[in-house]
């Protein structure tokens, strides 16, 4: 049997696929409705253990529409977490990046599935490069807005969605009640998987960007289309190319994520508790 992902069939409605996935999650967990969803990017994974009690862990691959992980042996997991206040969170540890080349439907499937489970708040986190010199590696930054440089969109056809206040001011203000030192900036999504050139980073700066990365903007658009309130958080894992003089390495990015993880995960858990 060939395993065709239904999202790759153009005639398929991606929202039907998301509804099927949500039904499967409800069946596997016994939880009919989730309230909040979080996508945990580089450096944010430990938050999974801090925000509440994990009652169910699923292999994302077993759920309709989700892709096999890009790195073998790193199976993407979905967790259902009971928050201290009684709400339910769906934790998405299974991000499909645009640079994997599977198309934007697969990139945003987790967000659409989260919406179909009932979630009305979407927290998107990532590891990213910083353009502001003052953001040393390990600094968490709120995303205030984005510039989508992928030249793609999760919206199909003449679907006009307002993106004013895409990254909810209310949620940013709430995050700052937990940590008043949280800075914010505009996230530029590049296609990747190569890091940017110094000239591209300068371009991003000139057009109003402060953070460079390879995820999140497309996901945030899909979340807004689904009517969710979005909070975006970047962990600055490195200064962007040319802002730092040394070459960028994936190992450096992972290391910065690891060292910052306890602090930013605790911060994220406190933000979630305040929602």
Distance CA 133, CA 117 (A): 40
Q: Which of 25, 212, 228, 269 binds ligand HPA (CB under 6 A)?
A: 212
User: Is residue 43 part of the contact set for ligand HPA (CB under 6 A)?
Assistant: no
User: Is residue 219 part of the contact set for ligand HPA (CB under 6 A)?
Assistant: no
Q: Which two tokens stand for residue 64?
A: 């309709």
Q: Does an H or E element contain 50, and which?
A: helix 47-50
The pattern of x and - marking residues 181 through 210 that bind ligand HPA according to CB under 6 A reads: --------------xx--------------
User: Is residue 237 part of the contact set for ligand HPA (CB under 6 A)?
Assistant: yes
Q: Quick one: 225 or 238, whose CB is closer to ligand HPA?
A: 238
252 is catalytic: no
Do the Cβ atoms of 181 and 264 come closer than 8 Å? no
User: Is residue 40 part of the contact set for ligand HPA (CB under 6 A)?
Assistant: no
95 is known to lie in a ligand binding site: yes
Site for ligand HPA, residues 117 to 146, rule: CB under 6 A: 127-129
Distance CA 257, CA 135 (A): 14
Q: Which entry of 196, 200, 219, 261 is annotated as an active-site residue?
A: 196
Helix axes 217-225, 104-116, angle to 10 degrees: 40
DSSP-derived 3-state class of residue 122:
strand
Q: Which two tokens stand for residue 234?
A: 């970047």
User: Is residue 265 part of the contact set for ligand HPA (CB under 6 A)?
Assistant: no
Q: Which of 191, 190, 192, 229 is nearest to 209 (CA)?
A: 190
Catalytic positions, written as ranges: 196
- Residues within the interface to ligand HPA (CB under 6 A): 127-129, 195-196, 212-214, 237-238, 240, 248, 253
């Amino acid at each position: 049997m060939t395993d065709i992902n239904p999202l790759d069939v153009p005639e398929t409605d991606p929202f039907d696929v998301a509804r099927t996935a949500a039904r499967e999650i409800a069946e596997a967990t016994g939880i009919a409705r989730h309230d909040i969803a979080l996508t945990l990017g580089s450096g944010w994974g430990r938050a999974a253990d801090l925000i509440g009690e994990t009652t169910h862990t699923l292999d994302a691959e077993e759920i309709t529409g989700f892709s096999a992980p890009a790195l073998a042996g790193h199976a993407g997991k979905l967790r259902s977490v009971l928050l201290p206040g009684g709400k339910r969170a769906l934790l998405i540890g299974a991000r499909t990046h645009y640079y994997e080349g599977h198309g934007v439907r697969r990139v945003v499937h987790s967000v659409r599935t989260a919406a179909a489970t009932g979630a009305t708040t979407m927290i998107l986190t990532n590891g990213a490069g910083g353009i502001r010199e003052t953001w040393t590696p390990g600094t968490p930054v709120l995303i205030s807005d984005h510039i989508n440089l992928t030249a793609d969109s999760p919206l199909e056809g003449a679907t006009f969605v307002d993106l004013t206040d895409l990254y909810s001011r209310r949620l940013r203000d709430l995050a700052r009640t937990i940590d008043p030192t949280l800075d914010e900036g505009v996230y530029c999504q590049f296609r990747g998987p190569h890091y940017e050139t110094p000239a591209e980073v300068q371009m991003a700066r000139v057009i109003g960007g402060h953070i460079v990365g390879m995820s999140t903007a497309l996901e945030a658009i899909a979340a807004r289309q689904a009517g969710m309130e979005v909070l975006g958080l970047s962990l600055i894992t490195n200064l962007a190319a040319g802002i730092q003089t040394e070459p960028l390495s994936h190992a450096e990015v992972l290391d910065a994520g690891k060292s910052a993880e306890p602090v930013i995960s605790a911060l994220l858990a406190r933000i979630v508790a305040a929602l």
